[in-house]
Structure 1
Amino acid sequence: MDPIEKALHGFPVRVNIDVQWGEMDLAGHVNNVIYLKWFEHARVAYLDRLGYPIVADPAREGLPGVILAKQDCKYLLPVDYPDTITLGIRVTELLEDRFNMHCAMFSQRHQRLAAIANAMMVTFDYRSRSKAPLPDSLRQGILQLEQ
């Protein structure tokens, strides 16, 4: 088993992203904001895997939206072009109105961990403009995926 596959054991959703030349900044490596964009991509892939609707107005579906409340990122390795990034994402804590996600990002070229991020996701009722309880379908989907 390759070292990245081994490190991503326990991450039910994985995403590969090719680094684009235009994502680098004047320092010659991928700009820090792009890392956050890639983590967002992994979060969306996780919700897609659950079949939870990702739409501009989640209220149209009768379900609360899932929005980012807080995020931190620890940058461990500068990434540059050409490379392919592999992200693994999992839910680490499931509460009444939110859940926490952990994401690990690996550089295929360097075969190393490049960054880690933690995100607090809140379910949000767009009609009342306030937090909402996690729908049972979302809770059960997460529990099943994380088994």
Structure 2
Amino acid sequence: MGNMDAALHVNNTVYLRWMESARVEMFRKMQGGDFKSSKIVPILAWQDCKYIFPVTFPDTVIINLDIIELMEDSVLCEGKIYSTTHDRIVAISKSSLKAYDSEALKKHDFPNTWRKSFLDFYGDSILK
């Protein structure tokens, strides 16, 4: 029952987990599939979510995640969650990711390889 609220809508925390899964998959693809062996990993600095329309069971959602701004020490993401049943956006989430050294247990400079991957895919439009 934790995935649904009293009105039988998908619980708001599930939307956040969907966005987390999309971010993990994005970085996994950037690392060529080898995400777990990396010493420097992305961590979530903050996230917000605007809930637009309730998702109810059964439904299939599609998540579209984009990088909207690349900064010196972080990246700003925007994700849109679509309901295939209702053919509409059901939520929009923004999040900021930073680099973290999992061995030293502290913030790390944003890796140049990450910057290059984002710029190769999105171009200079994500630089502000």
TM-score by length of 2: 0.86
- Cα shift at 1:22: 7.0
- Aligned residue in 1 for 2:90: 114
- Aligned residue in 2 for 1:127: 103
The answer to whether the aligner puts 1:136 opposite 2:112 as a matched pair is yes
- Cα shift at 1:31: 0.5
> Which amino acid in 2 is paired with 1:31?
N
Q: Is the 8 A contact 1:65 1:125 kept in 2?
A: yes
1:105 to 78, 81, 93: 81
> Which amino acid in 2 is paired with 1:141?
S
Q: Output the aligned Cα RMSD.
A: 1.8
- Aligned residue in 1 for 2:13: 33
- Cα shift at 1:79: 0.2
Q: Is the 8 A contact 1:66 1:124 kept in 2?
A: yes
**5+ long unaligned stretches in structure 2:** 124-128
Partner deviation per Cα, 1:108-132 (whole Å, 9 max, x = no partner):
1001110000000000123333221
- Cα shift at 1:90: 0.8
- Aligned residue in 1 for 2:59: 83
- Cα shift at 1:24: 2.2
The answer to whether the aligner puts 1:49 opposite 2:25 as a matched pair is no
Q: In 1, distance between residues paired with 2:19 and 2:51?
A: 12
TM-score by length of 1: 0.75
Q: Is the 8 A contact 1:85 1:106 kept in 2?
A: yes
SS in 2 for 1:26: coil
Counting aligned pairs with the same residue, the percent is 34
Q: In 2, distance between residues paired with 1:49 and 1:145?
A: 12
Q: In 1, distance between residues paired with 2:107 and 2:17?
A: 24
Structure having greater relative contact order (Cα 8 Å, sep ≥ 6): 1
The answer to whether the aligner puts 1:23 opposite 2:23 as a matched pair is no
Q: Is the 8 A contact 2:63 2:81 kept in 1?
A: yes
Q: Is the 8 A contact 1:97 1:131 kept in 2?
A: no
**5+ long unaligned stretches in structure 1:** 1-20
